[in-house]
């Protein structure tokens, strides 16, 4: 209201009149455009800004038979008192009379042209004077003409809860369900996507279910999987403007009006993993080049069926695209109801999953890259790889969960493996646990014991980082046994190393020393010198916990030597940090400070500025 109402205020006495201003309130169906326009009109008239009142016409732009401008002008003339024998016989004369009446009308008037789907519905109805104001509502953004746009978004969570609460209290002031079931109310508004129309329908259903709790409706919607089906099946009322409170037809009319290429993209975007999708991923989903996909997305954004979400400036992922939850549910339902659309959707999911696998593998390769190794494609440095992974993270994690479907299981397991280092780096342990479990279950179903062992290993690392050490011990033990049974000494060594770290965290330091020793011997026998360095670092931590600080310092020294040999500056930074901790235990603050400063330098060379900053802070604490 604050964005619209001030523009309706008349110019002060003596000031030049503003030119004709046309305001368009736009947004997806059910967002509350008409309610805003009508409320603005009420408030403006109450302030005396429009002594001529309001002229309102519902153009029904999204019905099967929209109101034409020629039909609307008849309704406007009737509202202005021209009817019966006074009504001109020809359309041209009707328009002339309408414009003449407005030009001669001294009392300032607000003209609301509601629910327009095309400029042809309202352009002939614009007054030929700057004395009056025009307010249009539309699901489509009228970019072809100069109008002042006010795009509506969904309500904030608090406002959504307030809308339902007010609707229930207005019907029965004794209705205390919102205060008694605050969590259920919040979940209900979330399931409604904070869309005013959906919230009104939910409130109407709750009014009829006076003796049932809010939680019962939440459960019904969640079990159905499609909020639109439940809300429309339970809807029987009308809104303040006499229109039926139904949700799915609102979405259907918007969908049916789309050109075929836009409709196809909307259906496919509803199948995308995650809540937001980058332009490149959308292009892969739809089997289009990026520019073609971008053009269609911009067209859909103009209809408010897709919302652009600006990424970080200069980001490789650029603009991202989001569907409202109810639009997504509608799109999924459209695909499910047509065999051809289902086949098209399955192929689209194959493409986007392969897109994610390719670039997640490249990004993971960059995060693991060491001098002397082959350069990964696309990402020039660690920062670029992290930027892409950050932008696509929600979609990547969601895509791994497609592992539950046989068609996508293999690719989803590969994708999970590519995310382990990144999610650990970002300390996103909940996501890492989700990814690890999905990959583990899919590999087990497929009988792929090596992949299952790797998944158990990654899951164990996530559990350990999340502070669930004993669960991590069990996971790494399972990984070790699977790799050993398969004769994979490399994987077995990694599992032993991680098992040692989990045992160390669980306070079982002596067992940890034994586990790291097994890992060291396996990596040494396999000639994997770099991973041997990782084990020496972890072995040092276990030795330090047992009180063998001298041995720990020696182990750290061996690890540091190997990491420097490989120019693994991040590994060197970790080792120097651990070495500083050993010096602290031995009450050697000056040596600890020197190690922290060296760690900061190593982290800087590894392009890990946050770690470098923390190491410098620790160094200062030694003074």
Q: For the segment 237-285, what is each residue's pLDDT rounded down to a tens digit? A: 555 544 555 778 788 888 988 999 999 999 999 999 988 899 999 999 9
Lowest mean pLDDT among 4-18, 46-60, 423-437: 4-18
Backbone angles phi, psi at 319, to 5 degrees: -70, 140
Cβ neighbourhood burial of 156 (10 Å; 0-12, 13-18, 19+): exposed
Nearest-angstrom CA–CA distance, 201 and 220: 14
Among all chains, which residue has been given the structure tokens 């920062």? 383
Q: In which order are the strands placed within the sheet that holds 320-322?
A: 276-278, 320-322, 307-309
The answer to whether the CB of 416 falls within 8 A of the CB of 438 is: yes
Reduced to 3 states, what is the DSSP secondary structure of residue 322?
strand
Dihedral (Cα; 435, 436, 438, 440), 10-degree rounding: 160
End-to-end CA distance of the chain: 58
* Predicted pLDDT of residue 231: 83
The answer to whether the CB of 408 falls within 8 A of the CB of 385 is: no
Does residue 332 have a pLDDT over 50? yes
Find residue 133's DSSP bridge partners: 110
Q: For the segment 145-185, what is each residue's pLDDT rounded down to a tens digit? A: 778 888 888 889 999 999 999 999 988 999 999 999 999 99
Reduced to 3 states, what is the DSSP secondary structure of residue 383?
helix
Reduced to 3 states, what is the DSSP secondary structure of residue 22?
strand
Nearest-angstrom CA–CA distance, 534 and 476: 17
Report domain extents, the chain.
5-151, 157-248, 272-322+339-447, 556-623
Nearest-angstrom CA–CA distance, 171 and 377: 62
Structure tokens at 362: 């490249």
Helices (H), ranges, 258-381: 260-269, 279-286, 290-302, 325-336, 339-368
DSSP state for residue 323 in the 8-state scheme: -
Cβ neighbourhood burial of 615 (10 Å; 0-12, 13-18, 19+): buried
Q: Could you write out the DSSP letters of every residue in 226-274?
A: -HHHHHHHT---B-TTS-B--SHHHHHHHHHTS-HHHHHHHHHHTTSSS
Does residue 445 have a pLDDT over 80? yes
- Give the pLDDT band of residue 292 (cuts 50, 70, 90): very high
CA-to-CA dists, residue 366 to 345, 380, 381, 420, 480, angstroms? 32, 8, 7, 13, 27
Reduced to 3 states, what is the DSSP secondary structure of residue 309?
strand
Nearest-angstrom CA–CA distance, 397 and 406: 17
* Predicted pLDDT of residue 20: 52
Nearest-angstrom CA–CA distance, 266 and 330: 10
Give the angle subtended at the CA of 171 by the CAs of 165 and 176, to the nearest 5°. Answer: 45
Structure tokens at 353: 């999953």
**Average pLDDT rounded to a whole number, residues 591-596:** 92
Cα–chain center distance at 417: 22
Q: For the segment 294-331, what is each residue's pLDDT rounded down to a tens digit? A: 999 999 998 888 989 875 443 434 788 999 888 888 89
Does residue 64 have a pLDDT over 60? yes
Does residue 421 have a pLDDT over 70? yes
Count of beta carbons in the 10 Å neighbourhood of residue 338: 12
**Average pLDDT rounded to a whole number, residues 544-553:** 91
Structure tokens at 536: 């020496």
Superfamily of domain 5-151: P-loop containing nucleotide triphosphate hydrolases (3.40.50.300)
Reduced to 3 states, what is the DSSP secondary structure of residue 278?
strand
CA-to-CA dists, residue 277 to 356, 497, 523, angstroms? 11, 37, 40
* Predicted pLDDT of residue 329: 87
Q: For the segment 493-533, what is each residue's pLDDT rounded down to a tens digit? A: 999 999 999 999 999 999 999 999 999 999 999 899 999 99
Nearest-angstrom CA–CA distance, 62 and 64: 7
Q: Could you write out the DSSP letters of every residue in 27-94?
A: -STTSSHHHHHHHHHHHHHHTTS-TT-EEEEE--TTSSSPPPHHHHHHHHHHHTT--GGGS-SSHHHH
* Predicted pLDDT of residue 353: 95
The answer to whether the CB of 231 falls within 8 A of the CB of 201 is: yes
| Per-residue b or e along 96-122, where b marks 16 or more CB atoms closer than 10 Å to that residue's CB | ebbbebbeeeeebbbbbbbbbbbbebb
CA-to-CA dists, residue 101 to 25, 84, 135, 364, angstroms? 26, 17, 19, 70
In this structure, are strands 133-138 and 22-26 parallel, antiparallel, or unpaired? Answer: parallel
Dihedral sign, Cα of residue 329, residue 331, residue 332, residue 338: positive
Q: In whole numbers, what is the pLDDT of the chain averaged over residues? A: 88
Encode 95-158 in three state secondary structure: HHHHHHHHHHCCCCCEEEEEEECCHHHHHHHCCCCCCCEEEEEECCCCCCCCCEEEECCCCCHH
* Predicted pLDDT of residue 182: 94
pTM score, whole prediction? 0.75
The answer to whether the CB of 432 falls within 8 A of the CB of 451 is: no
Q: For the segment 90-115, what is each residue's pLDDT rounded down to a tens digit? A: 999 999 999 999 988 888 899 999 99
Count of beta carbons in the 10 Å neighbourhood of residue 516: 29
Contacts of 35 (CB under 8 A, 6+ apart): 196, 240
The answer to whether the CB of 114 falls within 8 A of the CB of 34 is: yes
Does residue 602 have a pLDDT over 90? yes
DSSP state for residue 175 in the 8-state scheme: -
Nearest-angstrom CA–CA distance, 327 and 267: 10
Of 315, 304, 313, the residue nearest 278 (C-alpha): 315
């Amino acid at each position: 209201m604050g964005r619209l109402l001030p523009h309706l205020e008349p110019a002060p006495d003596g000031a030049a009149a503003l030119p004709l201003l046309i305001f368009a309130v736009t947004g997806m169906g059910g967002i509350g455009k008409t309610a805003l326009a009508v409320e603005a009109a009420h408030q403006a008239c109450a302030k005396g800004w429009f002594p001529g009142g309001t002229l309102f016409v519902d153009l029904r732009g999204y019905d099967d038979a929209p109101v034409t401008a020629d039909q609307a002008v008849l309704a406007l003339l009737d509202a202005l008192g021209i009817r019966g024998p006074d009504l001109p016989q020809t359309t041209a004369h009707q328009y002339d009379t309408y414009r003449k009446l407005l030009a001669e009308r001294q009392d300032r008037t607000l003209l609301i042209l509601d629910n327009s789907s095309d400029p042809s519905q309202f352009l002939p109805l614009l007054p030929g004077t700057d004395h009056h104001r025009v307010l249009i509502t539309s699901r489509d953004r009228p970019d072809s003409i100069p109008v002042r746009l006010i795009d509506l978004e969904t309500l904030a969570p608090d406002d959504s809860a307030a809308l339902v609460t007010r609707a229930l209290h207005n019907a029965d002031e004794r209705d205390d369900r919102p205060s008694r079931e605050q969590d259920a109310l919040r979940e209900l508004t979330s399931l409604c996507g904070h869309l005013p129309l959906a919230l009104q329908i939910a409130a109407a259903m709750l009014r009829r279910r006076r003796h049932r709790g809010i939680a019962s409706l939440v459960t019904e919607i969640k079990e159905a999987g499609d909020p639109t089906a439940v809300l429309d099946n339970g809807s029987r009322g009308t809104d303040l403007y006499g229109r039926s409170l139904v949700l799915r037809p609102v979405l259907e009319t918007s969908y049916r009006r789309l050109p075929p290429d836009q409709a196809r993209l909307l259906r496919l975007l509803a199948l995308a993993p995650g809540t937001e999708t980058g332009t490149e991923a959308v292009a892969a989903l739809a089997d289009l080049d990026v520019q073609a996909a971008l053009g269609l997305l911009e067209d859909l954004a103009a209809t408010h069926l897709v919302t652009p979400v600006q990424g970080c400036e200069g980001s490789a992922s650029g603009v991202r695209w989001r569907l409202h939850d109810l639009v997504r549910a509608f799109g999924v339902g459209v695909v499910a109801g047509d065999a051809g659309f289902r086949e098209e959707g399955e192929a689209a999911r194959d493409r986007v999953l392969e897109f994610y696998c390719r670039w997640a593998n490249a990004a993971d390769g960059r995060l693991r890259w060491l001098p002397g190794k082959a350069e990964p494609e696309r990402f020039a440095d660690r920062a670029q790889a992290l930027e892409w992974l950050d932008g696509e993270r929600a979609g990547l994690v969601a895509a791994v969960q497609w592992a539950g479907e046989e068609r996508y299981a293999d690719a989803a397991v590969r994708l999970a493996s590519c995310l382990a280092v990144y999610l650990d780096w970002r300390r996103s342990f909940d996501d890492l646990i989700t990814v690890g479990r999905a990959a583990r279950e899919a590999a087990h179903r497929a009988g792929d014991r090596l992949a299952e062992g790797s998944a158990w290993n990654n899951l164990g690392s996530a559990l350990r980082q999340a502070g669930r050490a004993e669960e991590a011990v069990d996971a790494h033990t399972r990984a070790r046994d699977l790799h050993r049974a398969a004769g994979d000494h490399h994987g077995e060594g990694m599992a032993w190393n991680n098992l040692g770290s989990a045992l160390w965290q669980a306070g079982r330091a002596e067992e940890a020393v034994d586990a790291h020793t097994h890992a060291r011997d396996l990596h040494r026998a396999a000639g994997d010198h770099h991973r041997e360095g990782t084990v020496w670092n972890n072995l040092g931590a276990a030795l330090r916990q047992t009180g063998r600080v001298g041995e720990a310092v020696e182990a750290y020294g061996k690890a540091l030597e190997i990491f420097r040999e490989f120019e693994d500056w991040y590994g060197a930074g970790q080792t120097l940090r651990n070495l500083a901790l050993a010096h602290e235990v031995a009450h050697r603050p000056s040596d600890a400070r020197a190690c922290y400063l060296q760690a900061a330098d190593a982290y800087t060379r590894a392009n890990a500025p946050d770690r470098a900053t923390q190491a410098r802070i620790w160094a200062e604490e030694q003074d």
